[in-house]
Amino acid sequence: MLVFSTSSSGYLRHRMEWKTLGPGENFLDLEPAYSELERARIVIVPAPYEYRTSFGKGTRYGPEAILAASAHVETYDEEFDRELCYELGLATLAPLKLEGLYDEAALAALEAVVEHLLQSGKFVVTLGGEHTIALAPIRAHLRHFPRLSLLQLDAHADLRHTYEGSAYSHACVMARVLEFLPPERLVQVGIRAVAREEMEVIRRAALRTLFATTLRASGPEWYTTVVESLGQEVYITLDVDVLDPAQMPATGTPEPNGLWYHELIELLRRIRQSGRRILGFDVVEFAPIPGLHHAALTTARLIYKALTLALTPCSPSSSEPK
C-alpha cells in the first residue's frame, strides 16, 4: 500500500491511502513487477460513481466488469508490434470509495487522486461510473495542460443546463465543462440525440459538434474534419454509448446509428498520425449486462488499444505503420 500525505499543491486536503490491485483483479491481470504504482507510467483509476443515472442503471458496476474482462485482452498489439503494459508498466488503483459522496464532493475526491497522479507524471485513465464523474479528470488535466482540446465521443450532447432538478446529471456534464473551457476547444463526435435546449447551446456557442447523421453523409473525410478541429494536446472523454448498440448494448441510454469500433479506433489512429498528443482519457457509462461478455471485452480492448495509440509516439522518420 502506498500512502500519500498532503501534497504541496493543496489539492490533497486529507491524508489518502491508495491501494493498487494485484493480479487477478487489476487491468490486464498483470504481475506486480508490471503493475506497481511507483514504476508504472499508466494508471487506471476505477471511479464507480452512480448517483443520477436516468434510464438504464448499473454504471457503478462498470469498472469491476471492465477489469474482469481485461484479463482476456491480448497484451500484444500487432499493429505496432508492442506490449505496452510490459514496456511502460500499468497500475490499477483499487476502486475509489465514493459511497456517500455526491456531486461536487465525489468530484473533489476523484480530482485529488488524478491531480496527484498527474503531478507524478502518470498517464491517467479514469473508468466511470456515470458521465458526471468525468468532470474531475477533465478539470485536473486542464490544470496540467492548459491548452488542451477536449474530444467528447458520445451519443448525447450532455449540454442541458440542468436535468431532473440537478446541475450534476450526466445529461449536463458538458454544460458544466463549458463553464471553464472555451467553447472552441470542445469537439463533440457521434451525437445523435439532442434536446432543443442543447441545439440552442450548440448554435449559440458555435460548438464543433459532429452529428452521427452528418458523419454518415460525409464519407471518410469526417476523420480529417475532427482531427483538424483539435489542438495539439487532446483529452478524450469517451461515453461508451458513442458506439452502436449492436456492439455496445451495455449502457444506460443506447441510441441507434452509432459509431463502429473500427471507426472509433481509426479516429484515434488519425489523431496520432497527425502528431497530436492524447494526454489522458476517461471511459464512462459502461453498465454491464450479466452474461454479455462481448460488451465488457470490447470496452477493455478499446481502452488498451487507445493506450497503445496514445503512448506510441508518431515520428515521421520511423518505420512504424503510418
Residues of this chain that interact with Mn ion (CB under 5 A) are 131, 154, 156, 158, 239
Alpha-carbon gap, residue 183 to 48, rounded angstroms: 28
User: What region does 108 belong to: left with phi over 0, alpha with psi -120 to 50, or beta?
Assistant: alpha
Residue 174 CB, shortest distance to Mn ion, in Å, is 8
DSSP bridge partners of 237: 152, 282
Alpha-carbon gap, residue 110 to 265, rounded angstroms: 27
Residue 93 CB, shortest distance to Mn ion, in Å, is 23
Residue 156 CB, shortest distance to Mn ion, in Å, is 5
Closer by beta carbon to Mn ion, 131 or else 208: 131
Closer by beta carbon to Mn ion, 16 or else 195: 195
Residue 10 CB, shortest distance to Mn ion, in Å, is 31
Tell me, rounded to whole angstroms, the distance of Cα 166 from its chain centroid.
23
Torsion of CA 13, 149, 46, 33, to 10 degrees: -90
| Parallel/antiparallel/unpaired status of strands 2-4 and 16-18 | antiparallel
Q: Give the C-alpha distances (Å, rounded to integers) separating 297 from 35, 121, 292.
A: 20, 28, 9
Query: Could you report how far apart the first and last alpha carbons of the chain are, in Å?
Result: 41
Residue 119 CB, shortest distance to Mn ion, in Å, is 28
Residue 37 CB, shortest distance to Mn ion, in Å, is 29
Closer by beta carbon to Mn ion, 91 or else 248: 248
Residue nearest to Mn ion (CB): 239
Residue 175 CB, shortest distance to Mn ion, in Å, is 12
Closer by beta carbon to Mn ion, 130 or else 263: 130
Q: Backbone phi, then psi, for 92, in 5-degree steps?
A: -120, 120
Closer by beta carbon to Mn ion, 46 or else 254: 254
Closer by beta carbon to Mn ion, 170 or else 269: 170
Closer by beta carbon to Mn ion, 9 or else 162: 162
**Percentages (nearest 5) of helix, strand, coil residues in the chain:** 40, 20, 45
Task: Provide the residue type at 288 as one letter.
Answer: P
Grid cell for residue 82: 508492442
Answer whether 147's CB lies under 8 Å from 108's CB: no
